[in-house]
Structure 1
Amino acid sequence: MPPKQMPASLHKVIMVGSGGVGKSALTLQFMYDEFVEDYEPTKADSYRKKVVLDGLLILREEVQIDILDTAGQEDYAAIRDNYFRSGEGFLCVFSITDTDSFHASQDFREQILRVKGDDTVPFLLVGNKCDLDERRKINREDAEARAAQWKVPYVETSAKTRGNVDKVFFDLMREIRVRKSDGGGAEATEGGKKKRRRIKCSIL
């Protein structure tokens, strides 16, 4: 009999951020390679996809990513705690064209840390809509300073051009894998420090 195949590891990713910043557009671009400009906000949408995850020191590994795309509207704030408890990693998204969404990222971060009780939880700060640089209101330096204060990576993306879309999901999954492999804590934090660098938005 052929050897029994082990099920792929499951990594649970939660998308957070204000309404209209492009969380759903990023998710749908990653899942289906398509840009959806007009998307009806919902309470939450869940997606699952099998991908191959690799790293410098680890063999290629087939994993499943489970993405929960949460609503940014205040109406749903009360139920976010339940979503956050289930998450293993977080993509906190703001729009570089929207100052309020950048300020709101602080509230999302604080809520996640309160629920998880752990400030080393895998977390990326994501500045979306970098294809609209002429409408930029958040300087890259300000966003990088916030990420440095939180000791997390900062990446700018464009759901429209697919710039850095795969990168943020795969980087977060690697952070989750490191945390799972050593039970969380110092090494996961160190990994976040090593990855915190200036990243330009690439247009694919």
Structure 2
Amino acid sequence: GHSYEFDAIERWLTDNNTSPMTNKTLNDRRFVNNFNLKSAIEEYCAQKNTILSSNQFLTFNIRYSRMPNTWKNKPTLNICVSLLGSSNTGKTTLARYLQYGLQSKFVHLNSTVTVAADLSFFYLDQLYEDKYVVIIQLSDIPGMERYESCCDNHFRHCHGALIVTDSTDIDTLERAELYWYKQLQLKGQDHVEYMLVCNKSDLFQRHCDDDYRRIFLERA
């Protein structure tokens, strides 16, 4: 619809007794504040701005590099994501892939057993709502059972988790279900997001027989 400023309407009513929108005769030319309408308009504008911001944020890239200098003084939104799963499921390799890309030589280096949380930091290449820098902390959590007591803090504070399994070892899938998933539900935040990652799919296709693949996929 059309909108008119107070002064413009006041000038109109000085010489007219009709509505500037409908041209119908007005019974009363006094101004009455309609707070319900004002609230509805403000709510509509807020929702419209939220939708516009969301649409502008549909496509972005995750960067593992130095943040632009022009962003250093901007407010930040910090997101914590944990890599959970048994030892030797490929969590560290997955973290390296996110850091360096699939073709980097660092991705294919032999990994040692992770004995303490290995932290990596990323940022999104677009500002959220045109003002917030989104920082992502990726925590590579030790997978060996003797280090599991060190994981409680990461369960409590992560906003999201990738529960990683080895597709060629069905025991890691069972461990993901009976321990990692349950601990995340028990100790994690109420609205934590999580995803199951079945790693080593190339080995799964080449070295596992049909019966094993069927059973694994049914369990997953």
TM-score, with structure 1 as normaliser: 0.60
**2:95 paired residue number:** 27
**1:94 paired residue number:** 165
Letter in 1 for 2:199: N
Report how far residue 134 of structure 1 moved.
Answer: 1.6
**1:104 paired residue number:** 175
Confirm whether residue 142 of structure 1 aligns to residue 215 of structure 2. no
Higher Rg: 2
| 1:58-98: CA deviation from partner (whole Å, max 9, x where unpaired) | 88x75221011001001111121122112111000001111
Aligned counterpart for 2:145 among listed residues 45, 53, 74: 74
Paired residue secondary structure (1:64): strand
C-alpha distance in structure 1 between counterparts of 2:184 and 2:94, whole Å: 20
Aligned counterpart for 1:6 among listed residues 74, 80, 83: 74
| 1:131-170: CA deviation from partner (whole Å, max 9, x where unpaired) | 2212244546425xx4xxxxxxxxxxxxxxxxxxxxxxxx
Give me the CA root mean square deviation: 2.9
The answer as to whether partners of 1:93 and 1:126 remain within 8 angstroms in 2 is: yes
Confirm whether residue 51 of structure 1 aligns to residue 127 of structure 2. no
**1:116 paired residue number:** 188
Letter in 2 for 1:93: V
C-alpha distance in structure 1 between counterparts of 2:187 and 2:206, whole Å: 37
The answer as to whether partners of 1:25 and 1:36 remain within 8 angstroms in 2 is: yes
C-alpha distance in structure 2 between counterparts of 1:6 and 1:28, whole Å: 28
Specify whether residues 9 and 138 from structure 1 end up closer, same or farther in structure 2 by C-alpha distance, changes over 3 A only. Answer: farther
**1:15 paired residue number:** 83
Flag the structure with more relative contact order, 1 or 2, with Cα contacts below 8 A and sequence separation at least 6.
1
Specify whether residues 134 and 45 from structure 1 end up closer, same or farther in structure 2 by C-alpha distance, changes over 3 A only. Answer: same
| 1:38-60: CA deviation from partner (whole Å, max 9, x where unpaired) | 111122101101223699xx88x
C-alpha distance in structure 2 between counterparts of 1:4 and 1:73, whole Å: 38
Identity %: 26
C-alpha distance in structure 1 between counterparts of 2:83 and 2:99, whole Å: 14
| 1:100-119: CA deviation from partner (whole Å, max 9, x where unpaired) | 1111111100011111263x
Superposed, 1:185-200 pairs within 5 Å as none
The answer as to whether partners of 1:102 and 1:138 remain within 8 angstroms in 2 is: no
C-alpha distance in structure 2 between counterparts of 1:3 and 1:69, whole Å: 27
C-alpha distance in structure 2 between counterparts of 1:84 and 1:20, whole Å: 20
The count of residues paired between Structure 1 and Structure 2 equals: 140
Aligned counterpart for 2:136 among listed residues 53, 60, 65: 65
Paired residue secondary structure (1:6): coil
